[in-house]
Structure 1
Amino acid sequence: MSLKWWRSTGEERAAATADPAAPAGPSGSGATAPEPDGSDGSDGSDGSDGKQDTEQDSTRDTATAEVVAAEQDHEYAELPTEAPRTGPLSPLPAPLLTGVPTGLPGMRADGGLLRGRWIAAASLTGTSHLLHGTSGQDVYRYTATHDGSGLVLVVCDGLGSRPETAQTGAGLLASYLCEAAAHITGQLMARAPQDVLREVLATGNAAVRRHRAAVLEPLTDSDLASTVAVCWLPLPAEGDGDGDGGSEEYRALPGHAVRVGDCNVFTLAGGRYEAPFPAACEGPANVVTAYLPCEDAARVAEYAPVALAGVDAVVVTTDGLAIDLFDSPSVRTWLASRWSVPCGPARMLDSLRYRRQGSHDDRTALITWSAPVGHTPRLEP
């Protein structure tokens, strides 16, 4: 078992109104947790006139303003954001950059068309790293298969217990997995998708181990350990359908995902989330029992089909963001609104700038929208 990052045991109190964007847990129902709305636990539904709630809201607004003012007291400028702030928060000091030569950039973002589908991604280094001057460890990659049958989305999350090397393993693994997945054919996926994706994991895993032995001695597999999620999504054949997303046969095709560890996949439709994999493990410490590279990648892999009928977007995330989606109604609502249209890189970065009590891990989201290029909404400026 390897420790990834320490997580607060505090939970958000549930919103007083029904949440329209609750993600599905293992049973398919929305997994929600309480969201803080006042020290006395009142939700305004006890017949009171709401005055106390108004006073509590005013107090929270004042506290948030004080935190923002304290953060802006540093001698550098940052753009404002409308991203929400949830729970009691302390002002953040100026972020510390890592001196580790293997450190990753603190912010990465992409947005654009790939084979007629809009893809956007963003990765932000977590506050736990910024406070201590260590590197973030999330990596994302994407590709299209050589035969044009599908998109491949990959996220990897290096284990925090290896602060100087795990991000190197995450980057290597993500790149090797994309290289292996590019050779997937639609025919193979139609026959045995689970076997195909497990083989992709095994191929990428073996490549990382060969690289380590040839270039990175004396590092061990655990020095490069990371969790991973790979998602394959079908693309319509060229000329298939009338330009509205392909034929009926294509639109009935599912996607497929495989993971090792606690990265996750979500679908978003009409502001609601579904999760083919279960929520990340609970507890004060996030402990993973499976990661790559390892001796037998296929044995530790977990497979799930991804239903795409009526889906607006597919989101692949590392666990830092997945936990916030499972546990926080405010985060779910905020991200559903930001991701309701295809995002450019700056919008994707801003979507992850929310603050939430106890949320300190790196945040990474890799998204593709279902609308084809001819029906992609105009991006907001």
Structure 2
Amino acid sequence: MLRPIIWIIGFLLGGFGLLFGNTFFIAESAIPLSYVLTADMLVVGVLGGLLLRSRRRRASSAASRHPRPRVASGVNPLRLRSPKWRRRQKQRSEADQRVESLALSEPPPDTSQQDPSSLQHEVPPAAQAHSPAMVTPLIVGPTDQTSWVRPPLPSMVITGTQENSSFFSGVVAELGWEVRGASLRGLTHAEVGESGQDALGVRWTPERDGLLLAVADGVGSKRDSREAARRAIVQALRLTHARPGIPLEHQIESLAKDLGAWLKQQRYSAATTLVLAELTDAADGLRLRIAAVGDSEVWCLADGTWKCLYHRRTGGETEALPRYARAMCREYRLSRGAVVVLATDGFAAALDGRSRLATELAVRWATAPTELSFVNDVAFHHDHHLDDRTVLAVWTGER
């Protein structure tokens, strides 16, 4: 603090000296004022340059004698002047050196004489085959259970991205079908703190031995589309379950009217795509009926090969409810053991039948993975696929 004060006093005294000297010199001589001021500026410039040069030389010599430590990102440079901080850094470096010396001095344990069964955990075959760092179940309580628990699928599940991601799993005990669902908020929404706009739902209908499956993707250009996506899922499952004999395309027409009236009542600006499917078990195999509006998709994995059952990308304006109420309908006969996948375009756009993702999932999803493995697969990393991802998959198995 003392050095800046001395500099200020020096500049003031020098300025006053130049002022009184110039006044006296001009009064006693016939030299013009402009010449005197020019000479003063030259003198000040030369002195300032010499001063800066001397300071740079002192700084470089000091840096060569005492080099400054490199500051890592996130560290306040002012803390480097604190003796306490330097002592902590020295203690940490000494501790790291001790750990490294111990690691080098101790040979790795010999596992050749151990029982191989003692080195393994009981995990699902899918996890053993596809997960380098296997996730083992955490058992808390007095039980001998060491394998994954297969929870029964609730009669109805409705979820979505909303503020956070979500996932669920369950088994249809009557048919042995495994169901996995995941709705993950995309990076484009997460980076700016926005909610996701996807939704999905599933409902088991025991009287028809079938599953009602629905996936919706809110249109990103409208601010309330997440509300429309969730409303569409709820109404699609409710209407289809309550009116089993009505074709799915007529169900979606009724849904579009209901959704439009509800959005108008709530004063929402929203739109959503929708894929509604019914998977039933028949005597000769599986029957899959699809009705869809928009660019969400339906895929099938059978015998290691992916097949697209519903795909529609117009390249222009996205067809979405409630404006577009005419659904595209499909109906298929599938063999038992097939995997049926409904997905929004955030996931389906990367699931081209010849893509690397399709090749990997053809192996990973040959059998039903654990729910954490399923979520990990849905959350694949790709620099260009940053939208919300919602996937609803059913492993039908063999009866």
Q: Give the TM bin, normalised by the shorter chain.
A: 0.5 to 0.7
Residue identity matched to 1:292: L
Query: Please, which runs of 5 or more residues in structure 2 have no aligned partner?
Result: 1-72, 75-130, 134-159
Determine if the alignment matches structure 1 residue 224 to structure 2 residue 258. no
The residue that corresponds to 1:94 in the other structure is none
Change (3 A) 1:235 1:156: same
1:359-379 CA distances to partner (integer Å, 9 max, x unpaired)? 11111110111116xx6xxxx
CA distance in 1, matches of 2:239, 2:319: 21
The residue that corresponds to 1:155 in the other structure is 215
Change (3 A) 1:275 1:196: same
**TM-score of the superposed pair, with normalisation by structure 2:** 0.56
For residues 184-195 of structure 1, what are the structure 2 equivalents within 5 Å? 184-185=243-244, 188=245
CA distance in 1, matches of 2:179, 2:330: 21
Q: 2:293 aligns with which of 248, 260, 284?
A: 260
Change (3 A) 1:319 1:288: farther
1:295-353 CA distances to partner (integer Å, 9 max, x unpaired)? x61xx311112331255210001011111002762111222233222233322211112
- RMSD over aligned Cα atoms: 2.7
**TM-score of the superposed pair, with normalisation by structure 1:** 0.58
Change (3 A) 1:322 1:265: same
Residue identity matched to 2:247: V
Q: 1:301 aligns with which of 306, 327, 331?
A: 327
Change (3 A) 1:143 1:274: same
Q: Is the 8 A contact 1:267 1:311 kept in 2?
A: no
The residue that corresponds to 1:107 in the other structure is 165
Query: Please, which runs of 5 or more residues in structure 1 have no aligned partner?
Result: 1-72, 75-80, 84-101, 189-194, 237-248, 376-381
Residue identity matched to 1:211: W
SS of 1:229's partner is: strand
Q: Using CA pairs below 8 Å that are at least 6 residues apart, which structure has the higher relative contact order?
A: 1
The residue that corresponds to 1:144 in the other structure is 204
For residues 87-102 of structure 1, what are the structure 2 equivalents within 5 Å? none
Report the structure number with the largest CA radius of gyration: 2
SS of 1:346's partner is: helix
Residue identity matched to 1:173: A
Report the Cα offset of residue 135 of structure 1.
1.5
CA distance in 2, matches of 1:145, 1:135: 31
1:143-163 CA distances to partner (integer Å, 9 max, x unpaired)? 12363342111000000101x
CA distance in 1, matches of 2:202, 2:190: 26
Report the Cα offset of residue 290 of structure 1.
1.7
CA distance in 1, matches of 2:262, 2:314: 31
Change (3 A) 1:135 1:327: farther
- Identity %, equivalent residues: 24
SS of 2:397's partner is: strand
The 4+ residue runs of structure 1 with deviation greater than 6 A are: none
SS of 1:288's partner is: coil
The residue that corresponds to 1:198 in the other structure is 249
CA distance in 2, matches of 1:130, 1:82: 28
SS of 2:334's partner is: coil
